[in-house]
A and B are shown apart, each in its own frame.
Chain A
């Protein structure tokens, strides 16, 4: 079976965000880009599935030349092939998902893994959208997965517990922390990945349905007051919570 993994290339979570000159996006200067943390779970699950069921793992990323770094990381972990869907314009999630769906279709991948969320725009919707465009089933925020022939039993994290979902292939699974422990790339893997050719194609273009008008810094929360350094401050704290903040 052909398995696809979609990965995004995002600012490191420790990055300080500066707003760019266009006032609509961030200033990329001095920003370190990494493989989206949730996509590591997606790659690991794809590799585990291939080890069990056989097949081939293809990694797809839509974006600029630099996205190849994240594709290479996936190759170093053990993925078989990488595809860069070249794109430098502004794309909303709908247009992104349509382009990913086209590529997944042309690859003939019946099982697709994505991260539950890309930590740039924190949308958490690409998997679900892409599945709809493909007519695939989809389970999001998965922390446990069993595949038996065509059948899928997946546990997804919800408020106050987990939902056990029954569905079937073809499907997209979006991966949450807890699903697995992503492997480290071996030295041999890293060397092999360097030699692999990443296929490049232009991403298909679709109309955007939404646009960013403006990006702003959140209103800075003012540091409050330190009201003491031991338990003698407790009565005052409780009074403030009751009378000033009115939260208890």
Chain B
């Protein structure tokens, strides 16, 4: 059977998420390499600017429509996507490694009895095989995985696959109503954390650690984050102390992030913290201890006092 790639897109509040552009482009590039078709699927009610996914190499997208499925339902999403996969005979399924994707992709894999590789950071082809590379042991090692089943499911780590320049192109949209979705499991409410940017999705993160001394000093972290349009992150030390919410924790028992820029303020760089942020593209550390391990992975460092350096940094950036 010839290969066919299906990219699973994701919307939030009816807008297509950035990760979907990344997965689309990765799907398009893979389709060029193995010479096969690629198309996309999305579930939701009304979806804004869906045809623009064409900008990232997708020619055709199926919109599985039901207003009740604007919010996630693991049961309904799994069932509907598996139906489409079987209908169009797709055998390579690409999903973003987001909260939704991490929940959905294994269910699809189980229904298809397909092998799955999650949190993939590179997809290569060799001798008709697809080899996916992914971090394990909190990024302390990488594995190359090959899936042997006919159908294959991959989830791709956000902010790793470059969506590239968008090329003006409209995707063809096929709308299919889902008449009676299986809602045995469904989201009934979304509690947003006060309109703030989430570390898992931000392209710049400013994180504070125990070196901030007390919770009130985090206003300095917030101020720097604001001038950079960044998300605020935290080390476990300050989360455990109750200074910051767990949703901001970066690291092995927090979130794994790979922003373009990660600024660590008063964070020593314990192995479990590094686990969550080592794949950031550019790392800046400000710490008064020049032997702090964080400097070993930082691209740029200032071995100084946060309370003296950060206000100057904010002022300089505001210029």
Contacts and interface: CB of A to CB of B under 8 A. Distances in A.
A237 B284 contact: yes
B140 interface: yes
A237 B300 contact: yes
A213 B304 contact: no
A166 B143 contact: no
B1 interface: no
B75 interface: yes
A211 to B, nearest CB: 6
Interface string A205-234: 000111111111110010111111111011
Measured as residues with beta carbon below 8 angstroms from the partner, the interface class of chain B is 35 or more
A33 to B, nearest CB: 13
B148 A132 contact: no
Contact of B106 (A15, A125, A161): A125
B184 A167 contact: yes
A180 interface: no
B72 A212 contact: no
A178 B248 CA distance: 12
A14 B271 contact: yes
B114 interface: yes
B144 interface: yes
Interface residues of A, number: 80
Contacts of A212: 143-145
B198 to A, nearest CB: 4
Given A140-B102, A160-B198, A213-B145, A231 B272 contact: no
A229 B290 contact: yes
B210 interface: no
Contact of B185 (A92, A143, A167, A225): A167
A237 to B, nearest CB: 6
B246 A178 contact: yes
B241 interface: no
Contacts, number: 262
Contact of B312 (A24, A128, A177, A234): A234
A94 B113 contact: yes
Given A17-B140, A128-B106, A241 B297 contact: no
Contacts of A223: 295-298
Interface in B161-187: 184-187
A69 interface: no
A241 B115 contact: no
A14 B141 CA distance: 14
A233 B144 contact: no
Interface string A12-33: 0111110100001010000000
Interface in A97-156: 97, 119-125, 128-129, 131-133, 137-141, 143, 155-156
Given A210-B148, A226-B290, A122 B119 contact: yes
Given A119-B252, A122-B136, A159-B201, A215 B143 contact: yes
A204 to B, nearest CB: 15
Contacts of A125: 102, 105-106, 109, 116, 118
Contacts of A17: 137, 140-141
Interface string B134-168: 01111111111111110000000000000000000
Interface stretch (B27-35, B47-55, B189-197, B211-219): B189-197
Given A13-B271, A128-B103, A234-B313, A160 B138 contact: no
B282 interface: yes
Contacts of A247: 204, 260-261, 281-282
A120 B118 CA distance: 13
B297 A221 contact: yes
A159 B114 CA distance: 27
B304 A218 contact: no
A208 B189 CA distance: 38
Given A160-B201, A223-B296, A213 B144 contact: yes
Contacts of A93: 106, 116
Contacts of B185: 137-139, 165-167
Nearest to A116: B102
A121 B136 CA distance: 5
| Residue in A143, A217, A229 with the greatest tally of chain B CB atoms within 10 Å | A229
Given A38-B253, A123-B118, 10 more contacts: A97-B110, A119-B137, A143-B246, A163-B191, A164-B190, A165-B185, A166-B186, A209-B148, A218-B141, A241-B261
9 contacts: A121-B137, A128-B110, A132-B107, A138-B185, A140-B102, A165-B74, A177-B253, A208-B148, A226-B295
Interface of A: 11, 13-17, 19, 24, 26, 37-38, 92-94, 97, 119-125, 128-129, 131-133, 137-141, 143, 155-168, 177-178, 208-218, 221, 223-231, 233-235, 237-238, 240-241, 245, 247-248
